[in-house]
Structure 1
Amino acid sequence: MRVVVTGATGNAGTSVIGALALDPAISRITGAARRLPGPGVGRAEGVQWETADVDPGGSDLDALLRGADAVVHLAWKFQPTHDPVETWRTNALGSIRVFEACARNDVQVLVHASSVGAYSPGPEDGRPVDESWPTHGWPGAAYTREKAYLDGFQRANPSMRVVRMRPGFLFKRAAASEQRRIFAGPLLPWWLVRPGLLPAVPGIRGLRFQVLHTDDAADAYRAAVVRPVRGPFNLVADPILDSGAVGRLLHARTVALPAAAARSALSAAWRLRLVPAAPGLLDAVLRLPMLDAGRARTKLGWIPQHTALEAFEEFLAGLREGAGANTAPLAGAGGRAGGSGSQNATGQGPVKWTHGRV
């Protein structure tokens, strides 16, 4: 089985490449990204790398996907949040280009990254929801609009086996510096995120979220490629986290902060371009449903190997170390390739480097 992975150099992509390489049913892996990784990344036996841009007017996706049995589509752009048209071109229109190229080239399996953000706001009683919960997103955030927009491709292409993965927040050590750049920007000194150094963390009322280690999510992607499944899968680990859990991990007390005050502060900082995360994203997070991952456990035989606390602790450790990997998205703190404490994304054998025409 030949599998093509788009967005293969990011947080999810590097882990998915590693998980696929361990499955004997997969004979050939092509990793595609706008910027190829540096030496030492993606060392899985038999992996080939191709440059590819999914944006409208970008690469020849037919050339990339021709002969593929399965495609894992992970390419995504979180910024610039001040220009939602640019992210829409990549995330919505670019994804549709990938999906349509899959259909033209008779790709039998498409597994793509949906998100908890695709869901409509959760029930008021906070109960976890399964995959039947409506997927209208939250209209005030570009990220949730874009994820919800892509949810209907299966209905238009019933002959293709389409799987939509809907994970919670994905964390691993090597992605810490990337996530700091995407969401916090320069206002978060990474070396301060150490137990005992911060006296307090804001306890935003109503904030609850679910976390999953990226490697565990990657194993679910691998299973979805090789098993005869289709449709959406929620992916989360226990326990559900909140501001109190973050405070306990940092040995800091929690200071209550109304959601409206947190939004006002974030909005002011965003307008001044001090932080990259838009206030609409906080609005969306406060409305996210809690997810039930029972379908993934039953249909994929999937059991996460890390608790949510372990995944978040690893992320915090990565922040303190300025950790990363030798790819453009995962560059460590200060732009260092890998940063302090960096890890190889797959830990496997030698890589075949192929600069294709796409």
Structure 2
Amino acid sequence: MRVVVVGATGNVGSAVLEELSVRSEITSILGLARRLPDAEAEPFCHAEWDSVDIQHPESTAALTELFSGADAVIHLAWLIQPNSQRELLRRVNVHGTKHVLQAAAEAGVERIAVASSVGAYSPVEDDHPRDESWPTEGIPGSHYSEDKAAQERVMDAFEAQHPGTALARLRPGLIFQAGSGSEIQRYFLGHLAPVQLLTMVRPPVVPMPSGIRAQAVHARDVAKAYAEAVIQGARGAFNIAADDVLTGEALASVISGREGKASITVPFAPLKPLVRSLHRARLLPMDEGWLEMARRAPIMDISRARSTLGWNPEYSGTEALSEMLEAMADGAGRGSIPLRPRSISALTEHPLPAEDHQLPSGIDTGLLRSYMADHLAGATAGLNRIQAMAAAFEDTPVYPELSQVAEAVGSEHQWLSRLIQSQGFSRPAVAAPALWLGERLSRVKPYARPLKRSPAALVLETELMLGAVTAKRQGWEVLSDYAAELGVDRAVFEQLIEAADDQREHLHRVHAYARPRVFRTDHATLSEE
């Protein structure tokens, strides 16, 4: 079987790739994502790769071509953040599912498995297990749940139009694995949460909202369910979860690392407005809708997955949560942008100078320090710019290009900072703040439209980034001439130069997309697409 996995770089996608790679029935795997992973790293090395953004109607044609010759499609792509951009989330999650299903039908794919969720179910007020017949109208107040319910209606319509296609809907609980530790922190807790402290000390008691309970499942177990669904050509909905239920007390025990009573019950009523306020202040990534899901989502009966798919969870929910928490504390991740480690540069495999490294005589350390500090200051301004660009144009077809450049620039910035420190040089004290302020002021442009993006902004910002990347490339060339004196393998700088060329290619494609959309009155602007 040839299987195409849409959204293959995330928490579940990475586990599905691992599972499919060891199944004898699977002959080839094509991974699709907006932002491509490190194709040489596990488990991404087991697939061919292509980039596609499913939110746009024109993606249907590209998907149809990519699905050609496939026996099965596993659709996992789902955007959780940013919560504030509801139209973007709906386009990716709901309309994107429609585009994937339509393309699969046009390509003649006969087996499809789609990632639904326990969040699709209507709310309950008890702990009685519900099977797959429970209504899927979603939980009011949770954008995730509302979109999952809307996705179910898309699948209902598809099944009515294509009764000959085997469509399986998997509705898992919370999905955990070690590789998702850093991702889950970014999406739900944020960088301010002191999760690193869990490696040194565990809290003796943990505050827990009253009435909270959930089911969890290990990503490997979910991946097995997806594999069975497409191999068997399964139809219909399947609840996927471990047997144990994570109550507030169970959650507190895992977090504290101690048995017995480890939680303090917190009233739910005041907690919801607190989470809402922290989210709106941008101190907490998740919004209050996730609390509603934790309190009102049903406990699932997994009998059908057992009897029809022959599926059984290998891990308990407690084990999956414990593994994820340890990984979160360590900042662990994998070789894709969604799963990237918390603070590890993509260049950490390249050794820095030995701890006893000293610059040789004959080198003007003052001039070298100043040169490297100026480049780091410029890199800081460039990083701020490209990150802002990626965030501002997240709902456009060029977001994957901008995002990949932003990720690469961030890694290089981190590595250059560490290189400077390894030489005994301090970070720039004046240049960096000055360039940071200049970069911010450069965004106040006379052509900017109030409260919406200017169609010219992407063109100009891209041109400025092209100049910054070119300057950075020249800096790597200069430093490569002094690689031996810096105690760095010259090949590292050669790779950085190649990476700068690759970033310029990405930016040139962004510029080519934006140019014809800037000044024409008879063409849709970026803001209108």
Same topology, TM > 0.5: yes
Secondary structure of the residue aligned to 2:100 is helix
1:22-33 superposed matches below 5 A? 22-33=22-33
Native 8 Å contact 1:324 1:337 kept in 2: no
- 1:327 alignment counterpart: 336
Counterpart residue number, 1:78: 80
The offset of 1:186, in angstroms, is 2.0
Counterpart residue identity of residue 166, structure 2: R
Matched AA of 2:301:
D
What's the counterpart of residue 127 of structure 1?
128
User: Relative to structure 1, is the Cα distance of residues 338 and 179 closer, same or farther in structure 2, using a 3 angstrom cutoff?
Assistant: farther
Equivalent in the alignment of 2:171: 166
Partner residue, 1:348: none
Specify the SS of the correspondent of 1:333.
coil
Q: 1:231 aligns with which of 236, 242, 246?
A: 236
Shift of 1:251: 3.6
Residue of structure 1 equivalent to 2:444: none
Aligned counterparts of 2:93 and 2:347: Cα–Cα separation in 1: 26
From the superposition, tell whether residues 258 and 265 of structure 1 become closer, same or farther in structure 2 (CA, over 3 Å): same
| Offset, 1:335 | 5.3
Q: Which amino acid aligns with 1:150?
A: Q
Q: Give distance in 1, aligned partners of 2:199 and 2:265.
A: 21
Provide the rounded CA distance (Å) in 1 between the counterparts of 2:284 and 2:345: 21
> 2:246 aligned with 1:241, yes or no?
yes
- One-letter amino acid matched to 2:113: V
Q: Which blocks of at least 5 consecutive residues in structure 2 are unaligned? A: 349-529
SS at match of 2:191: helix
1:32-111 to 2 correspondence within 5 Å? 32-38=32-38, 39-42=40-43, 45=46, 47-57=47-57, 59=59, 60-111=62-113
What is the DSSP-based 3-state SS (H/G/I as helix, E as strand, rest coil) of the residue aligned with 1:202?
strand
Give how far 1:338 is off: 11
SS of equivalent to 2:145? helix
Q: Is the CA contact (8 Å cut-off) linking 1:324 and 1:338 kept in structure 2? A: no
Counterpart of 2:5? 5
Aligned equivalents of 1:20, 1:275: Cα separation in 2: 36
215 and 338 in structure 1: CA distance in 2 versus 1, 3 angstrom threshold: farther
Q: Point out the structure with max Rg over C-alpha.
A: 2
Describe the superposition over 1:80-122 as per-residue Cα deviations: whole angstroms up to 9, x where unpaired: 1011111111001111100111111111011000000000012
The residue identity in structure 1 corresponding to 2:135 is: P
Which is bigger in relative contact order (C-alpha 8 A, separation at least 6)? 1
Q: Distance in 2 between matches of 1:225 and 1:44?
A: 21
Q: How many residues were matched structurally?
A: 338
- Give 1:57 shift: 4.6
| Letter aligned with residue 66 of structure 1 | S
Matched with 1:269 is 278
Pairwise CA distance, 1:193: 2.8
> Cα distance, 1:256 vs. partner?
1.3
8 A Cα contact 2:122 2:139, kept in partner = yes
Inter-CA distance 262–41: structure 2 relative to 1 (3 Å threshold): same
SS in 1 for 2:238: strand
Q: Identify, as 1 or 2, the structure richer in strand.
A: 1
Q: Distance in 2 between matches of 1:195 and 1:144?
A: 36
RMSD: 1.8
Change (3 A) 1:246 1:125: closer
In structure 2, the partner of 1:143 is: 144
Q: CA deviation at 1:195?
A: 7.7
CA distance in 2, matches of 1:281, 1:31: 29
The CA deviation string for residues 48-105 of structure 1, in whole angstroms up to 9 with x for no partner, is: 1111111115641112111111100001100110111111110011111001111111
1:156 is displaced (CA, Å) by: 3.2
Structure 1 residue 232 displacement after superposition:
0.3
Between 1:70-79 and 1:52-61, the stretch displaced more is 52-61
Distance 1:197 1:96, change over 3 A: same
| Offset at residue 238 of structure 1 (A) | 2.1
**Structure 1 unaligned blocks of 5 or more:** 340-358
Cα distance in structure 1, aligned partners of 2:205 and 2:102: 49
Which structure 2 residues correspond to residues 162-311 of structure 1 after superposition, within 5 A?
162-194=167-199, 196-249=201-254, 250-251=256-257, 253-311=262-320
Equivalent pairs: percent with the same residue?
Answer: 39
The 1-side partners of 2:76 and 2:346 are apart by 22
Residue 303 (structure 1) shift: 1.1
Change (3 A) 1:85 1:101: same
Q: Which residue of 2 aligns with 1:355?
A: none
Q: Report the counterpart of residue 403 of structure 2 in structure 1.
A: none
Per mean C-alpha deviation after superposition, the further-off stretch among 275-284 and 263-272 is 275-284
The answer to whether residue 313 in structure 2 is matched with residue 312 in structure 1 is no
Q: Distance in 1 between matches of 2:48 and 2:296?
A: 40
Relative to its length, the structure with more helix (as a share) is: 2
Q: Distance in 2 between matches of 1:224 and 1:44?
A: 23
